[in-house]
A and B are shown apart, each in its own frame.
Chain A
Amino acid sequence: MTLELTAKCNFRCPYCYCVWHEYPALAKPELDAAGWMTVLDKCAADGVDDILFTGGEALLRHDLFDILGYARRVLPKARLSLFTNAGRLDETLIKKFKRRKIHLATSLQGLQTYGAMTGTRRSYKRLLAVVARASELKWPIAVSMTVTKANIHEAADMFVAAALSGASTIQVGPVILAGRAAACQELMISHDEWEEVKQRIRALPDAHVPYTFCDEFICFCRSDTPKALLEKWGDKNHKPCPAGKDFGVIGPNGLYRTCLHSLPKEV
């Protein structure tokens, strides 16, 4: 179960898949801490054993640790994870997450293209330093990478940089046609380019880090995707979005969706 704690974000990634970029009404009004605690109660009652907290940028919530603390109390044995862009993550926070056994995941959007891919003036250097410090603190961070037209030339280097910095696991995937990416399709790579990226990463020397590829370019949970786009991006991967199975998302306003890219029932 994924809980999107907020739609607010301090990054402006042009390929962000969050659906409220297409339908802003899905993000408002945001649940308060009490609302999320109610959701967590339901999760506990339903036997959910794996929760990912995300956003937007969850670290922008001032009551984040109230929610996480409550989650740990009502779900003492569940695996709890937090996905963050790491813009605000520092050593103090990493230690707090470690104490609460909240696993961490972040995304490396590029190296030289990091600023452009995040819509900020930030550098990849801080992110790698955070990943490295977390590894030193024995609470390593999982890293995900999104391959775009802009950063495809350094995709393998991004992988190596994450691995050398001590990422616990690495997930690599292409841009998914949802959210901002729906209006920014020029960033999407082709199937052939994606296969080439995979081959380049596979051909690297052993990086001593488990990794996985996400092959989805398009989410078949979305019934509003035009047929032409389905044919263009879905021709080699005619399978449902893996997130749609044994998975669920609660959006910032408390609405349930089947996956990160899908919408609530349309009318």
Chain B
Amino acid sequence: MMKLSKKNAARQSAIHRAIASGKTLGGLLVGLTAATVVGGCKEASPSRTQGSYPRSQQQANATNEDTEEFVTGGAIAEPEPEPTQVKPNAVRERQDKEIVLGGKPLPPSAPPLPQDQYRVKGGDTLTKIAKTHGTTVAELKRLNGFDDVRANKLIAGEIIKVPQSKTNAVREVQGKDFLLRGEPLAPPSQSNAVNEDRSKTPSVKGKFPSKK
């Protein structure tokens, strides 16, 4: 178990006791507020409670320092219902919904792949991939362990196994990858043939099976 200071250990014990006894923990918060007020501890300023999210570490620390006064003498203050001194927790609610933000989305990246792998592109089907790689649909299903349902659920960008390239066509599809690795491009004639072939393949977009 994590070693805690006496204050926090007492606080944790109070939480565990309340849970074990089936009590709600809201009373501990009343105790916290009451202890804070009775002890004359400075309450959090509005700027601390209503700043923009995510707040800075300094603010976080400041708030925690406020709550250090929760336990006095190692004992949890008993709940003292004092409605006039207790602020509803609603004042702490933040209106902005995004917890982690910032930065521009990156474009999809395509790291170079070995020749026995293939990154699925929009409009691809197993039949088409098999044809491009000079193999059969059954072989692709066997290599990737696909059943019939999974074979119809190709996702653009996923990487599937293919037999070692029997034609040079795969190089055309991933030409940029090969360029990055300094390897020669496929001859233009074959590249065009592949592109022409792809253009004839009807897109299956919109026929993606619904999730069950």
Q: With A204-B26, A205-B33 as given contacts, are A267 and B154 in contact (CB-CB < 8 Å)?
A: yes
Name the one of A79, A160, A203, A255 contacting B108, with C-beta atoms under 8 angstroms.
Answer: A255
Give A163 to B154 CA distance when docked, in angstroms. Answer: 45
Chain A 226-252: CB-based contact to B (< 8 A → 1; otherwise 0) = 100000000000000011011110100
Check A207 against B29 for contact (C-beta < 8 Å).
yes
**Contact segment of B116-124, B130-138, B170-178, B190-198:** B116-124
Check A165 against B12 for contact (C-beta < 8 Å).
yes
Check B103 against A138 for contact (C-beta < 8 Å).
no
Check A160 against B109 for contact (C-beta < 8 Å).
no
Closest chain A CB from B209 CB (angstroms) = 8
Q: Residue among B28, B54, B66 with the most chain A CB within 10 A?
A: B54
Check A212 against B2 for contact (C-beta < 8 Å).
no
Check A255 against B157 for contact (C-beta < 8 Å).
yes
Check A202 against B89 for contact (C-beta < 8 Å).
yes
Closest chain A CB from B163 CB (angstroms) = 18
Closest to B203 in A: A267
Check A266 against B208 for contact (C-beta < 8 Å).
yes
Check A126 against B90 for contact (C-beta < 8 Å).
no
Chain B interface extent, by class? 35 or more
Check B103 against A50 for contact (C-beta < 8 Å).
yes
Query: Is A213 an interface residue when CB atoms closer than 8 A count as contact?
Result: yes
Q: Residue among A2, A126, A135 with the most chain B CB within 10 A?
A: A135
A residues bordering B, Cβ < 8 Å? 1-2, 22-23, 25-26, 28-29, 35, 38-39, 42-43, 46-52, 78-79, 81, 90-91, 103, 105, 111-112, 125-126, 128-130, 132-133, 135-136, 138-140, 142, 144, 156-157, 160-161, 163-166, 168-169, 171, 182-183, 201-215, 223-226, 242-243, 245-248, 250, 253-256, 258, 263-267
Q: Lowest 7 CB-CB distances: which A-B pairs, in order?
A: A50-B102, A48-B103, A248-B105, A202-B90, A160-B25, A129-B2, A168-B60
Offer 29 A-B interface pairs, CB within 8 angstroms, sorted by A. Answer: A2-B100, A23-B153, A25-B159, A78-B102, A79-B54, A90-B2, A133-B4, A133-B8, A136-B4, A142-B99, A156-B26, A157-B24, A160-B29, A164-B11, A164-B70, A169-B54, A183-B212, A205-B86, A206-B88, A207-B89, A210-B49, A213-B93, A246-B101, A254-B109, A254-B111, A264-B157, A265-B155, A265-B156, A267-B123
